[in-house]
Structures are given as C-alpha cells and as structure tokens.
Structure 1
Amino acid sequence: MRRRLRTAVAALLVPTTLLLAGCGSSVGATARSTGNDLRLGFIVPATGPVSATGLAMQAGFEIAVAEVNDAGGVNGQPITYDVQDDGSDPAASTQIARRYSQDAGVDMLFGTITGDTAAAVTPVAEQAGMAFATAILGDPSDCSAVAFPFGETNRQLLVPQVKALVAAHGPRIAFVGSDYNFPRDYAAAAAEILARNGGQLVAEEYSPLGTADFESTIARLAAARPDAILSMVVGSDAVTFTQQAAAFGLLTPKMGYEGAPLDSDYYPAVAALVTGREHVVRWADGVADPQSRAFVAAYRAKTGSSAPIPEVAANAYFGVKFIAAAVDAAKAGSREEIIKALAAFSLDSPLGRGTRFVTDGKGGRVFQAHMLTATIGAGGYAVARDEGVIDDLRTSCR
C-alpha cells in the first residue's frame, strides 16, 4: 500500500449524512479555458469507500471557488472547473488526469484523497507540465516540483505533538500504527524528534488494517510502561483501538494520547475518550477569525453537517484561496506561469502571515503555515496555542 492511506480510511468515520447539492461524476462549469482565465480539473472520490472525505474536500473547494468568483474571480474572470469521480481507484485517477492534461483548456489539477491516487496523478501532471494541488495530510509520496500539497507534513504535526507529550506526561512514548508505509515513516520521524526532546520510543506496534481485536497489542504496549501513546492507527481501526485501549485499562485520563484517532473525522465515535485532550492541527472549526467563522457557516449550510469539520475541507478551501490569489497577482495564464506563480507567492491568511511553499531539500514542496494545538470539546476544536511555523522541512517523499 502507498503511504497516507490514513486519510483514505479515515473517511469511513465521517458522517454519511454529508450531502452536496448537485454532486455527481461531473459537476461544475465545463467551459474551455481561454486566455488567462483559470480552469481547474478537480478529481474527487465522490463514490466508493472514501467518498465522505472526498465530498468534504469538494465542499471546501466549491465554497472557495464561489467566494473568489463573487469577489471578481481571477484575472478578471470567474474560475471554472470540472469535477470527475475517481472512486479512489488509482487507475481511474490516472485516466482522468490524462484527459485533463490533454485538454489545453485545463490549467491545473486539484484533488484526490488517498496516497496511491495522488502518486498516480503526479507523473501525469509532471509530463504535462501542470501544477497539481492536494489537500490531504502527511508527506507527499513523490518529490515533485509540480506538486503543491496544502496538507500538513509528518514533521509539522510531530514537532509540537512530541514536545507536548513529553512535557505534560513524561519521556516514555509508545507508538502504535496501522501496518503500511505512512505510519512507519511517521514513527521513524517521531523517534528522531523524541530523542531531540529527551524522550524515548519504548514500544512500536503495528497491526494490519481491519484488525478487530487489539488485546494482545494493548498488552504489549502496557508492558512497556509508557507515559503517553502516539497513535497512527487509522480508519475504523482507530475507533476500535481507542475503545479497546480504554476498556483494557491502557488509555486512562492520565495517559497521554495523540495522533490520528483525535482527528475531527473520528470525534463522533470516540467523543467520551478524547474530549478534553489536546490535538495538533493546522486549522480547526474553533478558529475565531472572521474568514474561518464564515467558512464554518458556509460549510454547514452547504452540507447540513453539524459534526466537527474535517481538516481536508479547510485545506481545500484555503488552498483554492491561495491558488486564486497567486495566479491573479502574477496574471498567470499558461501552465508554466501558474507553477511559477504558486512557487513564488506568499499570502497572509487565517493560516498565518506569509504562508508559502518552500522546498524540502529533495525537490518536493512543503506548505509553510502556522500549526495549532486545539483542545477537543463538545462544541468543537478550540485553539489553545499557536505553535507558529515548524522549521523542520524534511519529508519522506521519494
């Protein structure tokens, strides 16, 4: 399996009541791009096992496009876009990306959810010389100059997570994850960051996706006598592990707990076990600035959902705002001009002053914006601390 399946299987926990008006295999304006207008090819898993997360991303994307167009568009013209459903199938993602890339009217690509679909689209975008923006969390799978990932990297999450766990609970940290590339990459970075902060990884456990019984894993974790647990168990497994860890006495109110199971996607299923805990995010629905509050209201009106808003929706929303501002500022029209515009632009936004893309040293890009620590509560994820910009730019992209 490719890395970042975390986001893919996380979709299983997003409420299935999320509905978007007019959603289908092809949604949005389809007029061909002319001159220096901006037309986006949007790839989304609107059906299949990760459709809920895909629809959350689509909601954030479409809200941003509507707001940009209401404010005058890009280069004096409205953004147009076409939506195609890849069903979270890398083969379909590749075919859709190729069709978009062969259409001279499509300026750049946006979307997909899972790591394998993003990895399928990236080489197509490279061959076509067009930008490809994603909204998913985790390190990009490919080091590419045309990839613009708006999601948080492993180290952007881990640096504040590890520091807080060691300071609040103690140096002995146990790691548990689903058994594929992303959690292993995450654990490797965590061990290094722990050592720099006076901590130690005292246990490292992995379980296959679809595990229903974590009793033996929990027993081994407990035997290591950790002060805190860092978890990258994902999807429905994240809920199962959290509930069983509490039932078997490992996860107590005094035990530190961070990682994927605290994401807003899972909150409805584990609320009693995570409420009151802190969780590192880039954005949360408790962010109080006017633009974030307006986005929360627009998202709830569009989807009918009252649950915590998935970060992928916000990443898509702020990503489109960044793209529109960069292209407009540069008056970019061609695919090459758009790549240059995105790479050189910086924007003050609710995500921080001077948000921008920087290189990771291997040819890939990292989106530099503030990270936040949020306190999980019944009313949402309230910001407790602004962690600022994380300077560790290394990624595991290949």
Structure 2
Amino acid sequence: MALIDSTPVHGLAEEAPDCREKVLDRRRGPSDPLRIALVVPLQGPAGIFGPSSEFCAELAAEEVNSAGGVLGRPIEFVVVDGGAPPHSVAGEVDLLVSAGAVDAVIGWHISSVRKALIPRMADRVPYVYTALYEGGERAPCVFLAGETPGRQLRPALAWFARELGVRRWAVVGDDYVWPRRTAAAARRYLAQIGGVIGEEVFVALGTETYGDVVRRLGAAAPQGVLMLLVGADAVAFNRAFADAGLHETCVRFSPLMDETIVLGSGAAATEGLFAAAGFFETLITADSLDFSARYHRRFGALAPVLNSMGESCYEGVRLLVELFNRAGSTDLRQIRESSHGLAYDSPRGPVHLRGQHLEQRVFLAAVDGLEFDVLQRF
C-alpha cells in the first residue's frame, strides 16, 4: 500500500529548527521509496474536491505499487494543502524539493497556485498539473493533464448555439487567472459563431452571497450563463440562481462542475445546468466503468463521491509513472527528452501527450437531478 503522509507541511519554513531539520532528514537514496508531493485543496472553496483527490491518487499509487512500483521503487505521497494562499503553497513545495524530500509534484489546485509554484521549483523535478486550466502554459518542468478551453469550451459553445440557439451569454466567475482568461477565450469563440458576452461579473474567491449578482443577471436577461466559479462558490451561486427563478429562462454551463458541486447545490438548483469534462462517473465507457468499479471496491460505499477532479489526480499519477518508465529515470531532463509521443489508456479513454499537454476526449453533460446525463462527445 502507498503511504500517504496526510499531515500538510504548511508553515514548515517558519517553524522551529528541529521541525525544519526533520524535513531535511527526508533526503533519500535511489533505492528508497519514490516520494511525490500531492498538492490538493484541503480548505477554501476548492476544499470540497480534496477528499476525492486524495482517494483517487491513493488508488493509483496502490495499483502501481502492487505491480512492482516505478523503476523498482514504491510510491509514497506527502500531502500539501493546495487550498492555502499560493505563496504559502509555493514555499512548502520549495522546502520539500530543496530538501530532496520529494522526487516530483502532482495535484489538482487552482491556476494561481500553479503560477506561484513554477518559479520556486526552478525546473528541478517534474510537475504534473492535473486541473483543467486556461491554456498556454509552457514551463519546461510542467506536464498538464487537464482540459483546456479549445478542447472543452469552444465546441460546447458551438453546441449550445446549434442545438439550443443560445448565443447571448453572461459570465460569472471568481476573480483570478483561470476565469479571466477563460472568459476572454469565450469571447473569441463566440465571435466566430455570431455570439456575444453581454455581462461579466467577477467575485472574490470564497464569495457566499450572490443576491447582487443574480439581480444583475436578471436585468441583463442572457440566454446562458458561463459559470467560472470554484467549488463551494459554484454551490452558493447555483442556489441563488435557482431561488431567483433564473433557471426558467436561462441555461448555465460550466467547465468546472462535478458531482460534488451538484450534490451540494441540490436537485432543486440544477435545472438547466450543463458541464463539460474529460470524465464523469456516469460516463458509459469500458474505461470509466472499470475505474468506477475499482474505486468503489477499494473504498466502499462511504467513499467521497467520485468526480472529475478526483479522477484527474489518478490521471496525474498515471501520467507521471508513464513519464518515469519511458525515461527510465526520475531526471527531469531525460523525462522531457523522452516524453514526445507518449500514449496510454486511462479512465478517460485513449490519451496521448503532445507539447506537454495530455490530449483527451471531452464530454458535454446535462445535470438531471443529481446526476450527469452525458449528451455529446467532442
């Protein structure tokens, strides 16, 4: 079984010297377990994704270890709270990498955390970023397993225009890099199909009340709302949107909408709600059904709900393992040189690496009560 050190290392750089020396003592040799910093949110609006992310990563590690490990070494995790302020997360990971305590970094966390992490890592170890994101990342140390707007947002907006006649949109998003840049991409895509964004509202991460926002949406009367909200923020918005009755005249679409958010929102707040992702638990493919069965067999009926964010962490472990095995080394330079053309089968189906991005199928789904009904493959 993979070892997860579930105590976040938040604040170690500022703690007493004996605590810092304990981390420095974790430097290992080539025959010791391969340790990975698993950066997932344990607090804040994205914290609702943390449990499934940890469980899915653990499942991947157990499967790898039962098959002999990576380059003959078992996987272990050091969990870092990716829901802390970005500079704090970056400091913690920097400490682990500098101490030789980890061989790689993976995880689902928001783009502002990724932006803070990359300069501190200084191309020393591979970094697999599993979250959907705004696109355009080219840092040499990063391999990106998540969906991007060109593969996720662009075909979905065209589908809404073609199938539902929805061309007049509003945007509601959290105020950081992913929502801002994704909204800009949406404006470009809509311009190509005769669509428009008429209203944009960005709120602080952690916003809990949306009365003013839904009033602005009601006055603007869009046909659709592009939701670029994270976790608990999306839950609160869905409830306010439904309470205002806007679901009767306006659809909602989000590239960051999973089973956890749907359950938190409640069936009364999900009418007219759509999502696009590379994985849904209700996706009826051999790969996804097999993954779901393994997850529930391992963790039981009381496990965190399986969702695309959690599955992305499973994906991140798989991608990292494939990179290590292909290179025959944990050295970042050798990994980069050997990574081109890497391909394998995953819960998302066949995937392959191109330009450090994992190319994959994307699916559009409508929420039916508390479940996703997959409508279209892109």
Give the TM-score of the pair, scaled to structure 1: 0.77
Residues matched between the structures, number: 357
Residues 297 and 215 of structure 1: CA distance in aligned 2, closer, same or farther (over 3 Å)? same
Q: CA RMSD in A?
A: 3.2
- 2:15 alignment counterpart: none
1:97 aligns to 2:93 (yes or no): yes
| Gap regions ≥5 residues in structure 2 | 10-25
- 2:274 alignment counterpart: 278
CA distance in 2, matches of 1:87, 1:375: 28
Residues 357 and 61 of structure 1: CA distance in aligned 2, closer, same or farther (over 3 Å)? farther
Residues 64 and 212 of structure 1: CA distance in aligned 2, closer, same or farther (over 3 Å)? closer
- 2:316 alignment counterpart: 319
- 1:345 alignment counterpart: 342
CA distance in 1, matches of 2:224, 2:34: 47
Deviates more, 1:138-147 or 1:36-45: 36-45
| Gap regions ≥5 residues in structure 1 | 1-19, 359-364, 388-398
| 1:138 alignment partner AA | Y
CA distance in 2, matches of 1:36, 1:325: 19
Contact persistence 1:242–1:251 (CA under 8 A) = no
Give the TM-score of the pair, scaled to structure 2: 0.81
Residues 22 and 162 of structure 1: CA distance in aligned 2, closer, same or farther (over 3 Å)? same
Q: Give the 3-state SS of the residue equivalent to 1:326 in structure 2.
A: helix
Q: Give the 3-state SS of the residue equivalent to 1:55 in structure 2.
A: helix
Q: CA deviation at 1:263?
A: 3.0
- 1:380 alignment counterpart: 371
Residues 24 and 72 of structure 1: CA distance in aligned 2, closer, same or farther (over 3 Å)? same
CA distance in 2, matches of 1:205, 1:49: 18
Q: CA deviation at 1:259?
A: 1.3
Q: What is the CA deviation profile of residues 165-210 of structure 1, one whole-angstrom value per residue up to 9, with x for unaligned ones?
A: 2121332222222334332222111111011122122322334445
Contact persistence 1:49–1:88 (CA under 8 A) = no
1:249 aligns to 2:245 (yes or no): yes
Residues 134 and 379 of structure 1: CA distance in aligned 2, closer, same or farther (over 3 Å)? same
Q: What is the CA deviation profile of residues 319-364 of structure 1, one whole-angstrom value per residue up to 9, with x for unaligned ones?
A: 2112212322332242322333345422233424342132xxxxxx
- 1:145 alignment counterpart: 140
Q: CA deviation at 1:285?
A: 0.6
Which of 147, 158, 161 aligns to 1:163? It is 158
Structure-to-structure mapping, 1:1-398, within 5 angstroms: 23-25=6-8, 32-34=28-30, 38-46=34-42, 50-85=46-81, 88-104=84-100, 106-111=102-107, 113-128=109-124, 130-139=125-134, 143-167=138-162, 168-209=164-205, 211=207, 213-252=209-248, 255-259=250-254, 262-270=257-265, 271-274=267-270, 277-300=273-296, 301-302=298-299, 305=302, 308-358=305-355, 365-378=356-369, 380-387=371-378
CA distance in 2, matches of 1:38, 1:219: 52
CA distance in 1, matches of 2:351, 2:45: 36
Q: CA deviation at 1:104?
A: 4.6
CA distance in 1, matches of 2:29, 2:136: 30
Contact persistence 1:356–1:369 (CA under 8 A) = no
Residues 199 and 178 of structure 1: CA distance in aligned 2, closer, same or farther (over 3 Å)? same
Q: Give the 3-state SS of the residue equivalent to 1:173 in structure 2.
A: strand
Q: What is the CA deviation profile of residues 248-276 of structure 1, one whole-angstrom value per residue up to 9, with x for unaligned ones?
A: 33221x53220167432311132223257
Residues 60 and 341 of structure 1: CA distance in aligned 2, closer, same or farther (over 3 Å)? farther
Deviates more, 1:262-271 or 1:299-308: 299-308
Contact persistence 2:170–2:197 (CA under 8 A) = yes
